[in-house]
Amino acid sequence: MKYLKPWWSDGGGLLHLTILLSLAGLRLDVDLDLYLLLPPPTLLWDELLLAGGRTSSAYALSPFPASGGWGRADQLHPKGREPDPEAEPEGRLLREVCALGVPFIPRTRVDAWLVHSVAAGEADGAHGLLGAAAAASSAGGVGASVDDSSQAAPGDGGDPRAAASSPLAAGEEEKAPAEPTAQVLDAGGRANQENEVLRERHEAVDHSSQNVENEQRVSAQEKSLPQKNEDESKIADKPDWEAEKTTEPRNERSLNGTETAFSLEDLFQMLSSQPENSLEGISLGNTFTGSINYGINSTHNVNFSQAISHDVNLHEAMLLCPDNTFRREPVARTSPQESFLQLNSHTTTPEQTLPGTNLTGFLPLVGSQMRNVTSQDLLHDLDINIFDDISLMSLATEGFDPMEVSHLFEKPDSDSGLSLNSSHNSTSVTKSNSSRSVCEGGAGCSSDLESLSHHDLEGAVGGYYPEPSKLCHMDHRSDSGFCGDLAFQHIYHNHTYHLQPSALESTSGSFSWHGKSQKISKYLNDTDRNLSRDERRAKALHIPFSVDEIVRMPVDSFNNMLSRHYLTDLQVSLIRDIRRRGKNKVAAQNCRKRKLDIILNLEDDLCNLQAKKEILKRERAQYNKAINTMKQKLHDLYHDIFSRLRDDDGRPVNPNQYVLQCSQDGSVLIVPKELATSGHKKENRKGKRK
């Protein structure tokens, strides 16, 4: 088996391949999506076929070089192998797949287009376009390895990745072609290099009158970095229904596509100069019949990315970065949920899977529209499509597995993932940073799966949360923008959500690197285990909203959301259950908090009352003591008086026989006790009668 080592990330490539081959036994059409659309640079055709149960000649395809493009590995990787004159990777791949008897379901524009092209015997066209972008990227050298830098042709337009990501890149390369364009950076050194690159771009632009505007733009970009981060953080901290308002201004970046010096038209011309990568082979007439505007002077201002995004809006949810949100249409901008819905409709409505209807996103490629489309738009949207297709693939791969759903619903554990601590606060900046570090790790070096933070996988149920947009944005800003490495994160994200561990286990054993598969499987299991029950349920039913979103959404927004989106009864029921449980959970937490407060208050009251009781006891004792003192004094006085009293005979008066009685007029009388008691009784009777 021949092996074409991926040139920038062995770990990432293997990971992708692991997933790919793990899926091979299940749905090869899904694999094709992966194979054709995923960013990992080099895929092993042999291994893919081996996964499908047959062998084939070694054939490496690099569908998506680092800079984002399509092409054969032999074109992109000079050390890979000799170019195959019959190289039609996509067409050959399809033929191989067809030979395997596996139905190929074109679910994406790219593969649908591919199928269409192959069916029309024009796989060259497919390859042409796909390879064109790849060649464009390889020509710049960033997408290729360092070894490729020698092959890169600066005169061909430079690195579209760098050019697309920065307005200065193109001009800079003209000024300093000797600067290595290949940036195989590790995660740690990337930040410093970003700053250095920015500084160098400044210097380069200072001497270029052509790039004054670009310089200003970059300066503004640099100055606005903290503010951008701040704005993003603010926006990210808000729920989607709140962030809708704040994201609007960010979409104001024009559709003119003038922010980069490297336009798609340049790319087109550049590619046309390379026969092998030219677009001539594209059977546009067959593929895009009746939909293409070839007019060079056409005033059609349709953005290519817009067209794609219009069709598949999951990108906007997943890549809601300011650098690309301006491409969002107002309708699609309303909320990520709508994007989710459109994704669902994309998968459920059959007509959207048809090539004829699904390929409209490519139409603006041809013609003057390309003037307004930057290469970054093209490549980025291709990349976005990848994420979309990954999600679609994951949907298709997992489907509505009743066993899984029932299993999830039967699971006794309870953890809806809602906590007062809000550990699932997916909008935190730290999460963004951590995710980005993962992304960088995936691109620059072998990524250790187990070191990945679980936060990287949280967010929207089913991996539809728009959080990664911020990551993409950061990468755009930092390292020439293309999110090829980011795609790895999305691979992790989506596949960890949707892959069945059993599927991984069943297929991983067939390959020598099944250890990595096990690693991935363990990672996926851990990830799934960390999901709450409701999150897993929602994932299983492909609820296009995060649990947190469902719970925290206001009633009106919630009802509006349910009415706006097409959801099955089961989904609606689950969403309502999630909301009910989430609300009740919060209510229970509040209730316990209140109860605790009440208990604490009662304890305080008890302490206060006990203190008062002690005080009263002391007062009572004092009063009793005073009373006793008074009694003693009265007793002493009584005996003192009787000791001085004498009767008529001069004898002392016996105090046991007489008592002192005070009359109402103040006189004191000595009366016998019998009379005193009888008199008291009579007075009491009189008093009672009165």
Partner DNA sequence: AGCCTCTGTCATATG
Partner DNA sequence: GCCATATGACAGAGG
**Chain contacts with DNA (rule: CB under 7 A):** 412-416, 418-419, 532-534, 555, 577, 580-585, 587-592, 594-595
Please report how close the Cβ of residue 217 comes to DNA at its closest, in angstroms. 47
Cα distances (angstroms) measured from residue 116 to each of 29, 69, 121, 165, 521: 15, 20, 9, 32, 35
Nearest residue (CB) to DNA, 539 versus 581: 581
C-beta pairs of 618-627 under 8 Å, 24+ apart in sequence: none
Q: Are 290 and 311 in contact (CB under 8 A)?
A: no
Residue 158: both structure tokens together: 């430079």
**What is the distance between the alpha carbons of residues 527 and 454, in angstroms, rounded to a whole number?**
7
Indicate the SS3 state at residue 306.
Answer: helix
Quick check: 348 and 567 in contact, CB under 8 A? no
Q: How far is the CB of 594 from DNA (least distance, A)?
A: 4
Q: Which is nearer to DNA, 124 or 549 (CB)?
A: 549
What is the smallest separation between the CB atom of 589 and DNA, expressed in angstroms? 5
- Shortest distance (Å) from residue 425 CB to DNA: 14
Minimum distance from CB of 524 to DNA (Å)? 18
Angle 371-374-375 from CA coordinates, rounded to 5°: 120
Q: Which is nearer to DNA, 222 or 577 (CB)?
A: 577
What size, in residues, is the chain?
690
Taking the complex as a whole, how short is the minimal distance between the CB of residue 429 and DNA, in angstroms?
A: 23
Please, which residue, 66 or 567, has the CB nearer to DNA? Answer: 567
Q: What's the rounded Cα separation, in Å, for the pair 63 and 664?
A: 122
CA-based R_g, the chain, Å = 41
Question: What is the nearest approach in angstroms of DNA to the Cβ of residue 423?
Answer: 9
Considering beta carbons, is residue 289 or 525 the nearer one to DNA? 525
Q: Which amino acid is at 553?
A: M
SS3 661: strand
Shortest spacing between CB 558 and DNA, in angstroms:
8
Q: Which residue, 350 or 412, has its beta carbon nearer to DNA? A: 412
**Nearer to DNA by C-beta: 289 or 590?**
590
Write down the least CB distance from residue 592 to DNA, Å: 6
Q: Between 594 and 613, name the residue whose CB sits nearer to DNA.
A: 594
CA-wise closest residue to 41 among 87, 88, 91, 75: 75
Burial of 39 (0-12, 13-18, 19+ CB in 10 A): buried
Q: From the CB of 280, what's the least distance to DNA, in Å?
A: 58
For residue 352, report the phi and psi dihedrals to the nearest 5 degrees.
-80, -15
Bridge-based pairing state of the strands 668-672 and 658-662: antiparallel
CB-CB contact of 373 with 364 (8 Å): yes
Alpha carbon separation from 439 to 136, 150, 487 (Å, rounded): 23, 27, 8
d(CA 572, CA 657): 99
Nearer of residues 555 and 668 to DNA, judged by Cβ: 555
| CB closer to DNA out of 250 and 536 | 536
